[in-house]
Amino acid sequence: MNSLMVLPNFKIIVLNPAEDTVKNTIKNYTDLVTSNSQSDTYVLSSTSYWRGLNKGLKDDFITLIKSVEVPPNVLNELDTWHKKFGLIILVNNDCVNINNPNLQQEILNHSLLKNNIYNTQGSLIFFKNISLDEIKDIFENELNYPIKIHRPIELENIPETINETIESFDLKKTEIKDKQMDLLFKSILPIIGRL
């Protein structure tokens, strides 16, 4: 795949014309710096990489850039960034889950965060008087840790037993509707007979 070059300064050059899948994959994990008819230049950073991971995208980016020669310093940083992703999970707009006790202590002692913490429960830290954007900025830019956005379970990932429960519930709803219709019909029948 010679339409792609990864440079030691974390710039990625995509030579035009390039496949849409290549451009879209690169765009999801990087920031566009320059674009012209011959090439597009993107820059890879921890923040842009974590943004791509938070979109719920798969490892298509890693597969793509590993298909060309990647400088060792870029590979090492990607590995570091990847290992940090998921250590801090945003449970809702004012609560994060941190399972690593050392990292949790670092957060509790941080000068800007400690005054905005109103409660802790096990691995959960609850914040007050601070916006989600401010929390993300402190974690990602000052502490260099990403916040993974918690995503609700998708229906396709629910175990079969729960699917069976849902199907059973849907059947019961149908049975209730059928009984209601029977009652309604029985109550209307005498009125129709009088007409």
Strands across the sheet with 4-6, in order? 4-6, 11-15, 39-43, 31-35
Mean pLDDT is lowest, of 18-32, 120-134, 145-159, for: 145-159
Judgement on whether residues 59 and 91 belong to the same structural domain of the protein = no
Cα 124 vs. chain centroid, distance in angstroms?
19
A 10 A CB-CB count for 24 gives: 10
> Do 164 and 145 fall into the same domain?
no
Query: Within this chain, do residues 102 and 145 fall inside the same structural domain, yes or no?
Result: yes
**Contact of 14 with 23, CB cutoff 8 Å:** yes
Domain of 77, in residue numbers: 4-83
Range 12-29 average pLDDT: 86
Mean pLDDT of 130-142: 82
- Counting residues of the chain whose pLDDT is more than 90, the rounded percentage is 10
31, HSE (Cβ side, Cα atoms, 13 Å)? 8
Same domain, yes or no: 10 and 59: yes
Are residues 47 and 101 located together in one domain of the fold?
no
Residue with tokens 């965060």: 113
Domain-terminating residue out of 43, 67, 83:
83
Are residues 10 and 72 both part of a single domain? yes
Q: Are residues 16 and 43 in the same domain?
A: yes
Residues 104 and 67 in one domain: no
Query: Rounded distance, CA 49 to CA 42, Å?
Result: 12
Count of structural domains, the chain: 3
| Mean pLDDT for the stretch of residues 71-81 | 89
Where among 45, 65, 83 does a domain terminate?
83
Answer whether residue 154 is part of any domain. Answer: no
% of the chain residues with pLDDT over 70: 73
Residue 37 sits in the same domain as residue 61: yes
Same domain, 16 and 54: yes
| 54 and 69 assigned to the same domain | yes
Same domain, 138 and 179: no
Record the pTM: 0.65
In whole angstroms, what is the distance from residue 5 CA to residue 21 CA?
16
Q: Which residue has the tokens 């609700």?
A: 152
| Number of residues assigned to the chain | 195
